[in-house]
A and B are shown apart, each in its own frame.
Chain A
Amino acid sequence: NAGVTQTPKFRILKIGQSMTLQCAQDMNHNYMYWYRQDPGMGLKLIYYSVGAGITDKGEVPNGYNVSRSTTEDFPLRLELAAPSQTSVYFCASSYDGTDTQYFGPGTRLTVL
């Protein structure tokens, strides 16, 4: 199993551009999550999904959108990139919401 994979690993955006961060898992996990990690601030939950077709907001959802059309994939969309969205983004998954989450390697995004 590859586990949780994320692409791209690095990306630089200009203010106002849009992009999609990809996340996929091959563990047949129902739950998937998107976090952002800023220096010294821990991980903040952006959006999560408890199954295909079901998504919900986390602690910091503004400026982001998600979709979950399949169990495997959980892309995160930035529509109008802002410097405040410069961060490292992590995708995670878990089987049944019993709190054990497995993380991908992250995407480092810089918005200039």
Chain B
Amino acid sequence: TQLLEQSPQFLSIQEGENLTVYCNSSSVFSSLQWYRQEPGEGPVLLVTVVTGGEVKKLKRLTFQFGDARKDSSLHITAAQPGDTGLYLCAGGYGGSQGNLIFGKGTKLSVKP
């Protein structure tokens, strides 16, 4: 059962363009994390959002957690070739287990 739907699955854009990646679920999460993964490496945490409606910025990346804590978005302004990679969202239910539910990812390619 896929609890976290990411869209789009693939995205190929030119350098300088803006883009938004979406992460949607019917479940309520205590937190939502975004990871970036480069080929041959493990995912690296970009941000964690925990409050409904929360917005966090990381340079040209803006992350938002939905008011109902069921969805999240990642917006990249003026994309650079260095932004190329697989972006994964992961929802956490909190509690003692700490388990995360991962989306399938959005593969982003930014061409110079």
**Measuring CB to CB, which residues of chain A are less than 8 angstroms from any residue of chain B?**
4, 31, 33, 35, 40-45, 48, 50, 56, 58, 90, 92, 94, 96-106
Contacts and interface: CB of A to CB of B under 8 A. Distances in A.
Interface in B56-112: 88, 90, 92, 94-100, 102-105
B94 A99 contact: yes
B43 interface: yes
B42 A90 contact: yes
B12 to A, nearest CB: 16
Contacts of B44: 103
Interface residues of B, number: 27
A100 B99 CA distance: 10
B105 A97 contact: no
B24 interface: no
A35 B100 CA distance: 10
A37 B43 CA distance: 11
A48 B99 CA distance: 8
B99 A103 contact: no
Contact of B95 (A56, A97, A103, A106): A97
Given A40-B104, A42-B105, A99 B48 contact: yes
Given A40-B104, A41-B104, A45-B99, 12 more contacts: A31-B98, A40-B105, A48-B97, A90-B43, A92-B42, A94-B98, A96-B98, A97-B95, A97-B96, A98-B31, A99-B33, A100-B33
Given A41-B104, A42-B105, A50 B98 contact: yes
Interface pairs A-B: 8 shortest CB-CB: A97-B98, A99-B92, A103-B42, A42-B104, A43-B102, A42-B102, A99-B31, A103-B43
Contact of B41 (A40, A99, A101, A106): A106
Nearest to A104: B42
A98 B95 CA distance: 7
A33 B42 CA distance: 13
A38 to B, nearest CB: 10
Given A43-B88, A99-B48, A104-B42, A50 B102 contact: no
